[in-house]
Structure 1
Protein backbone atom coordinates (compact mmCIF):
# COMPACT_ATOMS: atom_id res chain seq x y z
CA UNK A 1 0.00 0.00 0.00
CA UNK A 2 1.33 3.42 -0.91
CA UNK A 3 0.70 6.84 0.59
CA UNK A 4 -1.66 7.58 -2.32
CA UNK A 5 -3.65 4.43 -1.49
CA UNK A 6 -3.92 5.49 2.15
CA UNK A 7 -5.10 8.96 1.16
CA UNK A 8 -7.71 7.49 -1.21
CA UNK A 9 -9.07 5.07 1.39
CA UNK A 10 -9.32 7.74 4.10
CA UNK A 11 -10.97 10.14 1.66
CA UNK A 12 -13.49 7.51 0.56
CA UNK A 13 -14.36 6.50 4.13
CA UNK A 14 -14.63 10.01 5.59
CA UNK A 15 -15.86 12.05 2.65
CA UNK A 16 -13.03 14.55 3.13
CA UNK A 17 -11.34 15.87 -0.01
CA UNK A 18 -8.23 13.95 -1.07
CA UNK A 19 -6.12 17.13 -1.02
CA UNK A 20 -7.02 17.82 2.62
CA UNK A 21 -6.33 14.21 3.60
CA UNK A 22 -3.01 14.28 1.76
CA UNK A 23 -1.94 17.46 3.57
CA UNK A 24 -2.93 15.92 6.91
CA UNK A 25 -0.97 12.72 6.22
CA UNK A 26 2.06 14.76 5.08
CA UNK A 27 1.93 16.93 8.23
CA UNK A 28 1.62 13.83 10.43
CA UNK A 29 4.72 12.30 8.86
CA UNK A 30 6.58 15.62 9.12
CA UNK A 31 5.79 15.89 12.85
CA UNK A 32 6.88 12.30 13.52
CA UNK A 33 10.11 12.94 11.60
CA UNK A 34 10.83 16.19 13.47
CA UNK A 35 10.17 14.53 16.81
CA UNK A 36 12.54 11.65 16.07
CA UNK A 37 15.20 14.01 14.71
CA UNK A 38 15.14 15.88 18.01
CA UNK A 39 15.48 12.60 19.94
CA UNK A 40 11.88 12.36 21.16
CA UNK A 41 9.87 9.16 20.74
CA UNK A 42 6.29 9.12 19.41
CA UNK A 43 3.75 6.85 21.14
CA UNK A 44 0.43 6.01 19.44
CA UNK A 45 -1.66 3.89 21.82
CA UNK A 46 -3.05 0.78 20.14
CA UNK A 47 -0.85 1.25 17.06
CA UNK A 48 2.78 1.39 18.12
CA UNK A 49 5.78 3.55 18.91
CA UNK A 50 8.27 5.34 16.71
CA UNK A 51 11.48 5.30 18.73
CA UNK A 52 15.08 6.37 18.31
CA UNK A 53 17.53 3.50 18.85
CA UNK A 54 21.23 3.85 19.59
CA UNK A 55 23.64 1.67 17.65
CA UNK A 56 26.95 1.13 19.43
CA UNK A 57 30.31 1.64 17.76
CA UNK A 58 31.53 -1.46 15.99
CA UNK A 59 34.27 -2.75 13.75
CA UNK A 60 33.43 -3.52 10.13
CA UNK A 61 35.28 -4.66 7.03
CA UNK A 62 35.73 -2.98 3.67
CA UNK A 63 35.74 -6.12 1.56
CA UNK A 64 36.94 -4.48 -1.65
CA UNK A 65 40.06 -2.99 0.03
CA UNK A 66 40.39 -5.74 2.67
CA UNK A 67 40.67 -3.20 5.47
CA UNK A 68 39.09 -2.80 8.87
CA UNK A 69 36.93 0.25 9.49
CA UNK A 70 35.35 1.67 12.63
CA UNK A 71 31.63 2.36 12.34
CA UNK A 72 30.87 5.09 14.90
CA UNK A 73 27.91 4.93 17.25
CA UNK A 74 24.79 6.40 15.69
CA UNK A 75 21.04 6.67 16.14
CA UNK A 76 18.36 5.19 13.87
CA UNK A 77 14.57 5.49 13.76
CA UNK A 78 12.61 2.35 14.52
CA UNK A 79 8.97 1.27 14.80
CA UNK A 80 7.69 -1.06 17.49
CA UNK A 81 4.07 -2.18 17.00
CA UNK A 82 1.65 -2.31 19.92
CA UNK A 83 1.12 -5.78 21.34
CA UNK A 84 -2.55 -5.93 20.24
CA UNK A 85 -1.62 -4.74 16.74
CA UNK A 86 1.16 -7.31 16.40
CA UNK A 87 -1.15 -10.12 17.57
CA UNK A 88 -3.81 -9.20 14.99
CA UNK A 89 -1.24 -9.21 12.19
CA UNK A 90 0.18 -12.52 13.40
CA UNK A 91 -3.28 -14.15 13.37
CA UNK A 92 -4.52 -12.75 10.06
CA UNK A 93 -1.55 -12.71 7.68
CA UNK A 94 -0.94 -15.93 5.82
CA UNK A 95 2.43 -16.42 4.13
Structure 2
Protein backbone atom coordinates (compact mmCIF):
# COMPACT_ATOMS: atom_id res chain seq x y z
CA UNK A 1 0.00 0.00 0.00
CA UNK A 2 1.50 3.34 -0.99
CA UNK A 3 0.84 6.75 0.54
CA UNK A 4 -1.96 7.63 -1.91
CA UNK A 5 -3.81 4.36 -1.22
CA UNK A 6 -3.32 4.76 2.53
CA UNK A 7 -4.71 8.32 2.54
CA UNK A 8 -7.69 7.27 0.38
CA UNK A 9 -8.54 4.36 2.69
CA UNK A 10 -8.08 6.42 5.83
CA UNK A 11 -10.25 9.26 4.49
CA UNK A 12 -12.94 6.75 3.50
CA UNK A 13 -12.96 5.22 6.99
CA UNK A 14 -12.93 8.53 8.88
CA UNK A 15 -15.19 10.55 6.59
CA UNK A 16 -12.69 13.39 6.23
CA UNK A 17 -11.57 14.77 2.89
CA UNK A 18 -8.36 13.45 1.37
CA UNK A 19 -6.64 16.82 1.91
CA UNK A 20 -7.63 16.94 5.59
CA UNK A 21 -6.53 13.34 6.06
CA UNK A 22 -3.16 14.03 4.39
CA UNK A 23 -2.63 17.02 6.69
CA UNK A 24 -3.51 14.90 9.74
CA UNK A 25 -1.09 12.13 8.72
CA UNK A 26 1.69 14.66 8.06
CA UNK A 27 1.13 16.18 11.51
CA UNK A 28 1.36 12.75 13.16
CA UNK A 29 4.53 11.86 11.25
CA UNK A 30 6.13 15.20 12.19
CA UNK A 31 5.29 14.62 15.86
CA UNK A 32 6.78 11.11 15.69
CA UNK A 33 9.92 12.49 14.05
CA UNK A 34 10.32 15.10 16.80
CA UNK A 35 10.01 12.39 19.46
CA UNK A 36 12.59 10.20 17.69
CA UNK A 37 15.05 13.09 17.45
CA UNK A 38 14.71 13.54 21.21
CA UNK A 39 15.38 9.82 21.70
CA UNK A 40 11.90 9.24 23.12
CA UNK A 41 10.12 5.92 22.58
CA UNK A 42 6.60 6.15 21.15
CA UNK A 43 4.07 3.50 22.20
CA UNK A 44 0.82 3.14 20.26
CA UNK A 45 -1.78 1.07 22.10
CA UNK A 46 -2.79 -2.18 20.37
CA UNK A 47 -0.08 -1.67 17.71
CA UNK A 48 3.46 -1.50 19.05
CA UNK A 49 6.39 0.61 20.22
CA UNK A 50 8.86 2.60 18.16
CA UNK A 51 12.19 3.39 19.78
CA UNK A 52 15.62 4.74 18.89
CA UNK A 53 18.43 2.23 19.41
CA UNK A 54 22.19 2.68 19.27
CA UNK A 55 24.11 0.21 17.12
CA UNK A 56 27.60 -0.22 18.44
CA UNK A 57 30.79 0.23 16.50
CA UNK A 58 31.78 -2.92 14.58
CA UNK A 59 34.27 -4.30 12.11
CA UNK A 60 32.98 -5.27 8.67
CA UNK A 61 34.80 -7.37 6.06
CA UNK A 62 34.30 -6.65 2.36
CA UNK A 63 33.68 -10.12 0.87
CA UNK A 64 35.27 -9.38 -2.50
CA UNK A 65 38.50 -7.74 -1.27
CA UNK A 66 38.68 -9.18 2.27
CA UNK A 67 39.45 -5.65 3.44
CA UNK A 68 38.40 -4.91 7.02
CA UNK A 69 36.59 -1.63 7.70
CA UNK A 70 35.43 0.01 10.90
CA UNK A 71 31.73 0.90 10.87
CA UNK A 72 31.03 3.79 13.24
CA UNK A 73 28.22 3.66 15.80
CA UNK A 74 24.84 4.93 14.64
CA UNK A 75 21.27 5.39 15.77
CA UNK A 76 18.53 3.26 14.17
CA UNK A 77 14.78 3.17 14.53
CA UNK A 78 13.35 -0.02 15.98
CA UNK A 79 9.79 -1.36 16.19
CA UNK A 80 8.31 -3.95 18.55
CA UNK A 81 4.75 -4.97 17.62
CA UNK A 82 2.28 -6.09 20.27
CA UNK A 83 1.82 -9.84 20.62
CA UNK A 84 -1.58 -9.80 18.86
CA UNK A 85 -0.02 -8.46 15.65
CA UNK A 86 2.84 -10.96 15.84
CA UNK A 87 0.32 -13.78 16.13
CA UNK A 88 -1.77 -12.47 13.20
CA UNK A 89 1.27 -12.37 10.94
CA UNK A 90 2.43 -15.83 12.01
CA UNK A 91 -0.97 -17.41 11.34
CA UNK A 92 -1.12 -15.90 7.84
CA UNK A 93 2.09 -17.74 6.89
CA UNK A 94 0.72 -21.13 7.88
TM-score (structure 1 length as normaliser): 0.85
Question: Mind listing any 5+ residue stretches in structure 2 that lack a counterpart?
Answer: none
Residue correspondences, number = 94
Following superposition, the deviation at residue 66 of structure 1 comes to: 4.3
Task: Tell me the equivalent position of 1:61.
Answer: 61
1:21-68 CA distance string (max 9 Å, x none): 011111111111221122111000110011111111111124565432
Task: Tell me the equivalent position of 1:2.
Answer: 2
Following superposition, the deviation at residue 75 of structure 1 comes to: 1.1
Instruction: Give the direction of change, closer, same or farther, for the CA distance of 1:81–1:67 in structure 2 (3 Å limit).
Output: same
Task: Tell me the equivalent position of 1:28.
Answer: 28
For 1:1-95, list aligned pairs within 5 A: 1-63=1-63, 66-91=66-91, 93-94=92-93
What SS is found at the alignment partner of 2:59? Answer: strand
Task: Give the alignment's Cα RMSD to 1 decimal.
Answer: 1.7
Cα distance between partner residues in 1 of 2:66 and 2:13: 56
